Structure 1
């Protein structure tokens, strides 16, 4: 995963605020367990990575990092590979009929409250597509699953899939 900028911050909320001020920044990773001290003045700080929309990331195995995606700043989508959402699922008709990532994308676009979806290429799962609203979401690592956060600016899957 490549970040567009690495900065020193004292808390996650300041990291998010800094991202909000920068054009192109749509997500941050804040290292909550990486407290360091500035040699010059002995001030304490943590590491904050800011990301643009083109980054592709994956779930982390440790609890050192907190990831925040700033949904209103998205132009199209952010994809997190090998990552699954833990949260309240949105229901839709015939979930097992969705067989492709693009179909899942279209289902999410058609749901007024959907901000993200996961799509699993897992052969053992009957339901490949799961939709989520922005209520209490967290992310966990899951091989073969990708999580997509979608901008409300996108009108159709052809805006993203060519």
Structure 2
């Protein structure tokens, strides 16, 4: 059973998800404590492969008021993601050749209480695809309301 910390809803709107992976993440103690309080934002975050290693960039993990000034972390620091070498090489091939993008979908605590990230190989949606997504979402919502209000 996993306990969700944060979701990247914007990624699901902007990208068509092709494949998902699980990755570990390297964090400092103050970052883990902040994540337990769900003090994070993944809205504009993305993943890059730099020198054969995965890095989560532009993810915001806020400070807690109780954090000592000596132990405070940088809020938008690049954070290293942990995956097997073969998986990283496979992702590098798809990103560089086929033009796909790597995005983080969510952060969560796994059964062993470690912070994990769901990494997705995604392709950017065009404007008309986004409009179709919004229309489908609106139609589903209207159908759900109609079913709820139906008295038969």
Q: TM-score, normalised by structure 1?
A: 0.26
Query: Higher strand fraction: Structure 1 or Structure 2?
Result: 1
Query: Higher helix fraction: Structure 1 or Structure 2?
Result: 2
Q: TM-score, normalised by structure 2?
A: 0.27
* Larger-gyration structure (1/2): 2
Structure number with greater CO (CA < 8 Å, separation at least 6) is: 2
